[in-house]
Amino acid sequence: MLMLIFKLGDEQYFIEAGEIVEIAPLVSIRKIPLAPQYVSGLINYRGSVVPVIDICSLVLNRPCRPFLSTRIVIVNYRYKANQDQTLGIKAENVTEIVDARDSDLVDSGVNSEASPYFGKVISEQSGIVQRININKLLSEKVSESLFEKVDDNAD
């Protein structure tokens, strides 16, 4: 399994490469009024409008800083059964892709209702790296607000 490593504060996390569509540079993001603080806004990705989540804001309560290594990771997000959507995840220190065996992943032993997106961990040379489960990143309410089609012609 290939995994994309990034940092949240001083800790390392990963997204499984199979969930990634592309790693894009930090581009201009259009804000969405009244959205949760961790919803950065919208980008134009290859002609499609894609929502972007700031993972630093979601986890650390502060926005990602504009480092040279800050990227927008474009992923396939499973909104509903058999309904994949494109989602951007803004992350800092996106620096490397590492190959690991699935069998090396172990349960962290900690489950939190407040952060269901934290998954199993793996021990690497650089320390413990924890999986971010993309499909548990957003609440149902936020997913609906970002992905439900709006009928602009409705009265």
The mean per-residue pLDDT over the stretch 8-36 comes to 94
Q: What are phi and psi of 10, to 5 degrees?
A: -95, -5
Closest Cα partner for 133 from 147, 116, 121? 116
pLDDT digits (tens, 9 = 90+) for 93-143: 998 999 988 888 998 877 777 789 999 999 887 789 999 999 999 988 899
Which tokens in the block code for residue 100?
A: 């690991």
Q: Which residues pair with 57 in a beta bridge?
A: none
What mean pLDDT value characterizes the chain? 90
Q: Which of 16-25, 61-70, 83-92, 102-111 has the lowest mean pLDDT?
A: 102-111
Classify strands 83-99 and 71-80 as parallel, antiparallel or unpaired. Answer: antiparallel
Instruction: Determine the average pLDDT of the residues in 84-97.
Output: 94
- What pTM was computed for the model? 0.90
Q: How many CB atoms lie within 10 A of CB 41?
A: 17
For residue 31, report the phi and psi dihedrals to the nearest 5 degrees. -65, 150
How is residue 99 written in tokens? Answer: 């190959």
Q: Average pLDDT in the 31-45 region?
A: 94
- pLDDT for the residue numbered 152: 53
Class of domain 2-143: mainly beta
Tell me the average pLDDT across 6-26.
95
Mean pLDDT, residues 66-81 taken together:
92
| Domain boundaries along the sequence of the chain | 2-143
Residue type, 151: D
